[in-house]
Structure 1
């Protein structure tokens, strides 16, 4: 019986060690409140491991051509998360210290984003003639949020996170039923206005991505906006430097 108790104690001890190492880093060296929360919570540990694995994969996308963007994006996300531990930060953190549900949501959103098939095309693109920009943010699976801006006419065409946001901002909306991927790096869409109707002059766009640029082909007047052209990818710029709405 004593031997059996000793064996059970040893197995429980090993299970505790396995749990402590569930995160992508050595939990024995955890010092910050966020790191300790990740080590203590199984769901956060799972998200942390998935983020680390996806990050490693994304570094090799496009044969490593977008590594600078992936690294900068991950560093920025980590800096935002670590702000939770800095009560004296001048910029308010996304979550209050000790708010586990909020921290789980932040980790889930990052997991969804970096695991998304669209992440390889996520980022900031500037039109080669300086007349506009294209912002692409991966959300989850194959979903993306897109913002196309024509500086000449101050026209924006953008996907909305939900219908309420589209109605609030009054932005043209890319309807789900008119948005589809045509292979891993090309998507076709038809724009709709805030009422869900296509512009009177029509607006259909085909966007093709490469590791260095996005080519936009336009059919229809798109309400007077000129959106077609070659948009060059800026690997040193981040989506957090821009707004997806005029607010």
Structure 2
């Protein structure tokens, strides 16, 4: 940390989203549907501000749970004072976002250091990449022997031409990152096999290197106090990122696939919760028969939820007309022992409400037209159902 004292002020101003960088406005620490003040609405309207607010809420909760009574009360008092300063930004509506961003960035670092002193500075630099790539690159160079920082410099060279990272610097950084993988022969072999595969794009190769280093860096799900900061990769790199960060190993290692949580609260809504509950018992039984390959399926499901909220237009492609209708499959199901009729009816009753909730969310949160939202919603629900029906069919001993 000492080597960053000289650049701390600028880093506070440039640090971007922590805890799901690139998350949409409704990822804020409060319910954006209930936002009432100008400040709350500004946070909810901006992915950057919303992500910062989520990060602050997460770190604040962790710190409050960790601290002894006296410093905990001091933190609570400081937070109240900070909220007053934050709310004063509303005095000039034309400069509201510009006022909030540095205040939130600084507060995230101040509170985050109470729970992640060793990593919060590096994570702040990583999170700032979409907004200040050149400054992020300069900060990452201060970690010359850090494999994760090196992998991000490779990323910057590939995807952020304004970062100033040259090809020569990227190749040196690649060597540092590969060396950091040398004590994990399996991860190293995954990367080297990808690099040698002529059918894999160079973008995918560099994203694979980044994934390997993220998995080794004690982020979620292994360390609940170090939140993912790479989530902007999914919205910025699209299908390449979804293809790279999803199921890979076909083993328990897939449980650690660095897949960010879905953006927003779509899948927390009642119809989706009802759908999930209707599958609980039959999926539990199927999972017992699936071995460790089930973790690849679980990772694929998580990735699909993320893609549905980050890139819903990916679901506008018309469904294969030869594919089975999942609702009909459920109606035709006859084995009440493996999947009781009551639970199947619960699923069927939730399908149309889930479509409507999804369509409404896509219009409000992602700006899709009514027609686009309805089409994407149908496909999202269809894929969600078929993923689980396929899993049940493959692993049902009955």
**TM-score (structure 2 length as normaliser):** 0.22
| Greater percentage in strand | 1
| Greater percentage in helix | 2
**TM-score (structure 1 length as normaliser):** 0.35
